[in-house]
Structure 1
Amino acid sequence: MKTLNKTDFDYISLKLASPEQIKDWSYGEVTKPETINYRTGRSERGGLFDEKIFGPEKDYECYCGKYRRIRYKDIICEKCGVEVTRSIVRRERMGHIELSTPVAHIWFLRGVPSRMSILLNISVSDLEKVIYFAGYIITKVHEDEKEKIISNLEKEYKAKLKNATDDDTRKRLKDLFSNTKKEILEIYEGKVLNEISFHHYSLKYGICFEANIGAEAIYSIFKNLDLNKLKIHTEKMIEKASIIEKEKLQKRLSLIRAMTYAGIRPEWMFLTVIPVIPPVLRPMVALDGGRHATSDLNDLYRRVINRNNRLKKLKEINAPDVILRNEKRIIQEAVDALIDNSIAKQNDSAAMSQSQKRPLKSLSDNLKSKQGLFRQNLLGKRVDYSGRSVIVVGPELRLNQCGLPKHMALELFRPFVISKILQAELAFNIRGANKLIEERTPEVWAMLEEVIQGKYVLLNRAPTLHRLGIQAFNPILIEGNAIQVHPLVCQAFNADFDGDQMAVYVPLLEEAQWEAKELMAANKNLLKPQNGDPIVHPSKDIVLGSYWMTKSVDGELGEGKYFSSPNTAITAYEYGVVSLRAKIKVLATNNRKYLKFNEGFFDTSVGKLLFNSILPSDFSYVSDEMTQKRLSSLVDELIIHYGVDDTPPILDKIKSFGFKYSTFSGTTWGLDNVKVPSEKAKIVEEGRKLEEKTISEWKEGLLSEEERYQKIIEIWTYTKKELEKVLPKTLDKNGSTYDLFMSGARGTMTSLIQMAGMKGLIQNNQGKTLEFPIIPSYQEGLSPIEYFVTTHGARKGASDTALNTAKAGYLTRRLVDVAQDVVITEKDCGTKEGKVVSRENISGIEIPLSKNISGRV
């Protein structure tokens, strides 16, 4: 096997290996199923771990121990036959198994599309019948004998027809003649016969054809195929073929051309020699108590070797054909399981683990999927300086900070702390420094604090669906075991605090630290790369606190009072003269913030003044109630005014303000806060009447079944919408529920309507909307049948979520794969053609033109 230089190639191509090539890779034939001798713990001769084939287990030491040390390098021991070399060769040296019968490669038989099926123009099910000894394939037809049988049949038919006296006999003879002739004409190369048909044809027309069974039959057909002749023949057939046949033949032709171009013979789709992968890639590890943990591949190879050796013996003793066929079939199944056990499983021939009662992991299973060799081992990174923990909210943190448990930080920054200890001469070697760290002395914590000054760590939450799934933070040492995360970065990570975990990594190099601080830090990533919108939106408690403070309420203490300046009004509140949410009038100062009021009086409240006090002094006064939407647009304005660098401190002030006053507001929640509207009975009654009217029209034949169904759905949808209109009126304008709902902090109209309106129409597990609406709300309570009906949709929702997540992930993966070679190198593509941007999108919803055209003009 040639060893190439790492850079000594132009490209990589994967193609079928010939038996000669497999033997060329191999260092010897594996003839025994044994692995390791349980007494000596050494590999068995001729077995799956044989040192003679795969190389020595110990560096520069042969099996028998005659040659040891590097001075005997490359010598082959004359006693045990082992080459004296490094043991790492056991990672690359392959063996082979010489099969005593050809075996179909399951990828090319059952893969979609089946290459064998396309090449022979035989269906996959027929091919499987032949290969698994359930059917015979006609391999040769003697045309002259066939013609002889047909001419003899015609002579016999004419002679008997002359002697026939009545019409019935003539009709019977005619039918018999046409059926027999049809049977003879249906004898052609590649026709697959079942057991009964084969015996029937053999007895009657055995002289004019040859048939065979098993993989050997297809192998011999493939061996005799001339690809060039087949190519010319297929090209001629395409010229005459119909549109449907043309498509099929086109696939066949492209396969033939590809095989010719790559220099691949069709019979290589059958295995006569099986490569045995190096033993280090299918390890066997000794456990306590004399037992061994082994890779599944060893069991699969063992099955193939056992069955192959048994077939060899049966051939030697000239065993009956029935026994040989059965043995060949089970060898085919053993090789199928070795190559791809997941495909074999579909045919109920999967190899199962005896102890664990699970399918064994085959060669294909070890390569494919997320846990396969490529994605898990070759592309997966193993990071030394990393940790993982549950996340909790850190309301005191700044936007570029995260709270890191001190014990975790000590492990992550251990090398840096050791360096500091050695510099301070608290210890004189690494072992001593490690001992100090284990003892957790006060000096260690002081040095850790010193080490992390100005350092950044990366936080990552899986799944990392966009680049903001990994961001850099300056760690703050905290007690406990959970990582603290700033509440405003949750949206970028799609994180919440119900048990989510995050991984933490330490960038080690100076350049990596610079990149983390300047490019990946959370305070530098306020915008979505997707569209340039802000991704740091205040939500939940922050929205509630800000809304509660900026909402004016009638009848509060100090309502209608006039104040000479904003500061006077705030002082009056501190002395208990006016309440936070009272409607007051304040005289604007000549500060830039109040320019729009022209130094006149303006309507406001102390809450609004306090909220504006946290915004920059040159930012125009905001007099709106701070709902979630308004807060998001405010963040947008702040980023436009002050840029990405100066906005984070303002956001931190908004966060602290929101948390402080949401606590101060004393907002509570109880189910009785939401009242069932008094108009509900009337609205539902009207819906019932319309439903009855629709059913009577249907019974009279005025409506079809589909029209009746659609109309009933429309009636109850309209009824629910009518309830939605009256429900907000039942809420107390100054109550907690109204504040929570109207601010956008928590709850939507959907949740309110289900709590106090009606559950409404639901879908079954097929996704069809049921005509049976759930009239009661959760507050009124559901009957057992109503509750049972609602569970259908809930169950479907849960399963759909899981399935759609996997589908979306796989689609994204393929899209990224397709776009690998598309690299943006220019800022401007240089096109002179424009693009029409409509105010309405496809669904007819109006969107602001500014969003669509910003940055594109």
Structure 2
Amino acid sequence: MKEYANPQKGAKLILDFESKEVFLVMRSKNTPAIVKVYLDDKLQDLKALKDKAKDELVSLKPFKILSELEYHNFSLKYGEVFEAGTGAEILRQLFQIVDLKKEIKKIKAGLEEVSPLARRKLLARLKFFQSMESAGVRPEWMFLTMLPVLPPDLRPMVQIDGGRYASSDLNDLYRRVINRNNRLKYLLEIAAPDVIVRNEKRMLQEAVDALIDNKMRKGTMTQATTGGKRLLKSLTDMLEGKQGRFRQNLLGKRVDYSGRSVIVVGPELKLHQCGIPKKMALELFKPFVIHKILEKELAFNVRGATRLIEEETDEIWATLEEVTKDKLVLLNRAPTLHRLGIQAFQPILIEGEALRIHPFVCRAFNADFDGDQMAVHLPLSEEAQKEAREIILSTNNLLKPATGLPIVSPDKDIVLGCYWMTRMLRGKIGEGMVFGSKSEAMLAHEFGLVDLKVPIQLRINDKFIETSVGRIIFNGTLPENFAFYNEVMGAKNLERLIRGIFEEYSRDIFHETLDKIKALGFEYSTLSGITWGMNDLIVPEEKKAIIEAAEKEIAVTELHYQKGLLSKEEKRDKAIEIWNKVKSDIEKLVPKTLPSEGPVFQIVDSGARGSWNQPVQMAGMKGLVVNPAGETIELPVKHSFKEGFDVLEYFISTHGARKGTADTALRTSTAGYLTRRLVDVAHEVIVSEEDCRDGDGIEIFKKEADDIGQNLIFKILGRTTLDDIKVKTDKGNTKTILKSGEIINWKVAETIVTGRLPGSDWQCTPYWRRGWWW
């Protein structure tokens, strides 16, 4: 209500705003003269007041947010007309009146009339409302009217020395909620002022927020009263992250009969073996050792057997050997990014404290020997041991799941040894000698008549071929009836050879061949004496002239820019083009400068380690680098690492190193999170049969592989055909090269892609397409 009075007459005019309207007389355009006379000159003020009050009242709509000052003014003026509130209570009342069906209908009606950005927001809102309706959830259920309390076992309190108590942080957080709730209850009972009650409600809300998630409010996080003012661990902190309840205790648990140690290489091991330190094995196999001791009557109870184990007598080690003979253990290296991160091995007892693994399984584990650690687990039951032997054993996991190609293949020292022994060098003793058999050539080499690497003539299948004693020795490791492999055995040739043996021979022969190649590679890489020193890196003599010529070109480009013949962008592009050509020229010079018998050339050329890009930077020039934004810096690094950088070159080259380190860390966390999400969504997938006999497949085109820069072989390798693969011969007949339901191996994949089967008179188109099963 508002009252206005004429001080001369003492009369009052009452303005009633309850219906958002004013008294009828005041709305009349043709106001009687008597009213004008009676009100004197206040009529215009009253009209202005009416208009202002009307605008204010009309602006008060549901869900409008008012500031503290606006609320205070409105409550004084129109306290009986509107209702407003603050805190969770008023929000709960508003949520109670929400009709989900009406809201969904309203959003659907307005989707066509809004901009794309607003449409995206509306769609998110629609999805949220539809999900709530289908789940039978009401919006007001988001507000807590009662707070559940965690059982005492999950928030323990224990007494420590001195009569004090060590308590879970949750107890402190619950105590704050209880104290503030009781205080609010008392304030409401004594009808305390609204300001005090509102402040107490705010404090209660903060206490509940801190209990649920203490990191929710950045400015008001609850700290412990003792222990260096640390943040208290809330319910959310107990659940989330790597140390949370789900990932720490539910998805994975600590297990008994497991150990952990640093790994070292075990070149003497076979593919299915691993070396376990004796002391670790004794602890892992303790129950089995005790059982065997009691069985042999070396002791008469468990306590006596345990005492014998602690004394580590000779009988104990003999018993341990006996127990471990037919057992398998699981080795795991974190992070386990694919199924080959866990494999089963037969334990071999060794001295020392480090685990030993076969060098060929390093690629599957992504392991190296610079301090990596691995965990070892013992499957206890007969069923678990059987599963480990039939499924998880390393010799049963030879293919990479991603590509279908063998993941066990020689690398590093083994490749270098095989490469060194199979290279042919002229000018040594015995060059050009002719031998009728491999044994003759080997005998001549043993007597010192023929060098390991000189070309000789050898008779094979009534034909003479040029080969060397080194190649004869290498072929001695290959299976019987395997064709004589007369090539330099670098990394690529070894990989091709391993793939061929895998497809043509049994698993036992394949494992045996791998171990023979491993032993031979290690032996001859040692005999080669290849090592690496700074003096082995030779800077090309032509480099200086190439750099000087480029600098002259840059000077000409700068002159053209100063004269206005080139824009700034054109000058920059020209400079980058010049220096890229310089880098390309030096890249060609470095391999020619290095001696072919030198260690750098042999290590890179064999594929044992690195690529030509690294010697080019070490002995040639580093070249152009990029800034943190990914743009190429116009100024090149002209020196090589051997020559040393100047100050400017050093600092501009640090951008890439810093960015690389940051990107690696970011990619690692992103990949880990993606893997976890993939595992979560795949939990409900159950594979109950090997062949679902589905009649549908996917079509694979050569163009699709070309578009992503992938060889078609890798796109079809390992897949299963939906139909027979038939091709036409030159005579017009059809020939089936693979039947329906068969897996495409490397040979068939090569046939499809190259369009020719070796030794046949037919062709197939490389654009061939067919459906496949996954």
Given that residues 491 and 608 in structure 2 are in contact (C-alpha distance below 8 angstroms), is that contact kept between their aligned partners in structure 1?
Answer: yes
Deviation at 1:469, TM superposition (A): 0.7
Q: Is the 8 A contact 2:404 2:718 kept in 1?
A: no
* 1:766 match: secondary structure: coil
Cα distance between partner residues in 2 of 1:239 and 1:563 = 88
Q: 2:95 aligns with which of 208, 219, 222?
A: 222
Residue 569 of structure 1 corresponds to which residue in structure 2? 441
CA-CA distance at 1:393 after TM superposition: 0.4
In structure 1, give the amino acid aligned to 2:716. Answer: N
8 Å Cα contact 1:285/1:292 also seen in 2: yes
Q: What are the equivalent positions in structure 2 for 1:25-64 lying under 5 Å apart?
A: none
Cα 1:158–1:544 change in 2 (3 A) is: farther
- Kindly state the Cα deviation for residue 410 of structure 1 after the two structures are TM-superposed: 0.5
1:511 aligns with 2:363: no
Verify: 1:278 aligned to 2:151, yes or no. yes
Secondary structure (helix, strand or coil) at the match of 1:209 reads coil
Shift of 1:613: 1.2
> 1:408 aligned to 280, 292, 304, which one?
280
Pairwise CA distance, 1:298: 1.5
2:253 corresponds to which of 381, 394, 407 = 381
| Equivalent in the alignment of 1:501 | 373
- 2:230 matched to 1:342? no
- 1:479 CA drift (Å): 0.6
Taking the aligned partners of 2:369 and 2:30, their CA distance within structure 1 comes to 89
Is the counterpart of residue 752 in structure 1 residue 623 in structure 2?
A: no
Preserved contact between residue 146 and residue 184 of structure 1 (Cα < 8 Å): no
Per the alignment, residue 536 of structure 2 pairs with 673
Whether the 8 Å contact between 2:403 and 2:714 is mirrored in structure 1 is no
Give 1:352's aligned amino acid.
Answer: Q
Match of 1:835 in 2: 699
TM-fit CA distance, 1:618: 1.4
Q: Which runs of 5+ in 2 are unaligned?
A: 1-15, 37-44, 722-774
- Matched residues in 2 for 1:699 and 1:180: separation? 71
Q: Which residue of 2 aligns with 1:419?
A: 291
Work out whether residues 432 and 457 of structure 2, in 8 Å CA contact, stay in contact via their aligned partners in 1: yes
Task: Write the mapping of 1:504-543 to structure 2, written as runs, cut at 5 A.
Answer: 504-543=376-415
Kept after mapping to 2: 8 A contact 1:437/1:444: yes
TM-aligned CA deviation for residue 727 of structure 1: 0.9
The question of 1:486 aligning with 2:358 is answered: yes
Q: Aligned in 2, Cα 1:697/1:831: closer, same or farther, shift over 3 Å?
A: farther
- 3-state secondary structure, aligned to 1:211: coil
SS at match of 2:144: strand
What is the aligned partner in structure 1 of residue 234 from structure 2? Answer: 362
1:7 aligned residue: none
Letter in 2 for 1:194: S
Query: Paired residue for 2:655, among 792, 805, 815?
Result: 792
Structure 2 equivalent of residue 353 of structure 1: 224
CA distance in 1, matches of 2:577, 2:507: 49
Task: Please list, as runs of the form range in 1=range in 2, the aligned pairs for 1:133-148 lying within 5 A after superposition.
Answer: 145=18, 147-148=20-21
Write the distance in 2 (CA, Å) between the matches of 1:157 and 1:273: 62
Q: Deviations over 1:404-450 (max 9, x none)?
A: 00000001111110011001111111111011001101100000001
Q: Tell me, yes or no, if the aligned pair for 2:428 and 2:454 is still in contact at 8 Å.
A: yes
Contact preservation (8 Å) 1:587, 1:600: yes
Task: Check 1:186–1:718 CA distance in 2 against 1; reply closer, same or farther (3 A cut).
Answer: farther
Secondary structure of 2:83's counterpart equals: strand
Q: Is the 8 A contact 1:546 1:658 kept in 2?
A: yes
Q: CA deviation at 1:351?
A: 2.0
The one-letter amino acid paired with 2:20 is E
CA gap 1:252/1:636 in 2 versus in 1, 3 angstroms = closer
1:720 aligns with 2:593: no
Q: 1:844 to 1:273 in 2, by over 3 A?
A: closer
Q: In the alignment, which of 663, 667, 681 is matched to residue 804 of structure 1?
A: 667
Separation in 2 of the partners of 1:749 and 1:244?
A: 51
C-alpha distance in structure 1 between counterparts of 2:669 and 2:624, whole Å:
28
CA contact (8 A) 1:225 1:266 kept: yes
Q: 1:846 to 1:521 in 2, by over 3 A?
A: closer
The residue identity in structure 2 corresponding to 1:809 is G
1:608 Cα deviation after fit: 1.0
Q: TM-score of the superposition, structure 2-length normalised? A: 0.83
* SS of residue matched to 2:84: strand
Instruction: Map 1:302-321 onto structure 2 (within 5 A).
Output: 302-321=175-194
Do residues 464 (structure 1) and 327 (structure 2) align? no
Is this contact kept in 1: 2:22–2:50, CA < 8 A? Answer: no
- Give the letter for the 1:746 counterpart: R
Distance 1:607 1:244, change over 3 A: closer
SS in 2 for 1:272: coil
Shift in alpha-carbon separation, 1:223–1:755, aligned structure 2, 3 A: same
Give the equivalent residue in structure 2 for 1:559: 431
Whether contact under 8 Å (1:839, 1:849) holds in the other structure is no
Measure the CA separation in 2 of the matches of 1:720 and 1:175.
82
* Contact residue 579 and residue 606 of structure 1 kept, 8 A: yes
Q: Spell out, residue by residue over 1:18-76, the C-alpha distance to the aligned partner (whole angstroms, 9 max, x if none).
A: xxxxxxxxxxxxxxxxxxxxxxxxxxxxxxxxxxxxxxxxxxxxxxxxxxxxxxxxxxx
Q: What amino acid maps onto 1:334 in structure 2?
A: A
C-alpha change, 1:434 and 1:150, in structure 2 (3 Å) is: farther
1:278, distance to aligned residue in structure 2 (A): 0.5
Q: Which has the higher contact order (CA 8 A, sep 6+)?
A: 1
Tell me what 2:198 maps to: 325
Name the counterpart of 2:736. none
Structure 1 residue 814 corresponds to structure 2 residue 686: no
Matches within 5 A, 1:238-317: 248-249=121-122, 251-317=124-190
Report the Cα offset of residue 712 of structure 1.
3.5
Segments of 5+ residues of structure 1 without an aligned counterpart are: 1-142, 164-171, 589-597
SS of the residue corresponding to residue 635 of structure 2 reads coil
Letter in 1 for 2:224: S
What SS class does the counterpart of residue 145 from structure 2 fall into?
strand
d(CA) in 1 for partners of 2:31, 2:490: 99
Letter aligned with residue 348 of structure 1: G
- Where do 1:12-91 residues align within 5 Å? none
The letter of the residue matching 1:604 is: T
| Separation (CA, whole Å) in 2 of partners of 1:295 and 1:513 | 42
The 5 Å alignment of 1:204-215 reads 208-215=81-88
Superposition deviation, residue 547 in structure 1:
0.5
* Contact in 1 for aligned 2:155/2:168 (Cα 8 Å): yes
Q: For residues 687 and 174 of structure 1, what CA distance do their matches in structure 2 show? A: 86
Say which of 457, 472, 477 aligns to 1:585: 457
Per-residue CA deviation, residues 175-226 of structure 1 (Å, 9 max, x unaligned), is 9999886555432121112223434545665564332222222233234545
Instruction: Report the count of equivalent residues.
Output: 694
Q: Deviations over 1:789-809 (max 9, x none)?
A: 222221221121111111112
Q: Deviations over 1:116-155 (max 9, x none)?
A: xxxxxxxxxxxxxxxxxxxxxxxxxxx9647326999988
Describe the superposition over 1:225-280 as per-residue Cα deviations: whole angstroms up to 9, x where unpaired.
45566566666666876766565455445544544554444332222211101011
SS of the residue corresponding to residue 20 of structure 2 reads helix
Distance 2:472 2:626 in 1: 49
Task: State the distance in 1 between where 2:431 and 2:537 align.
Answer: 29
Structure 1 range deviating more: 278-287 or 471-480: 278-287
Give the alignment's TM-score, normalised by structure 1: 0.75
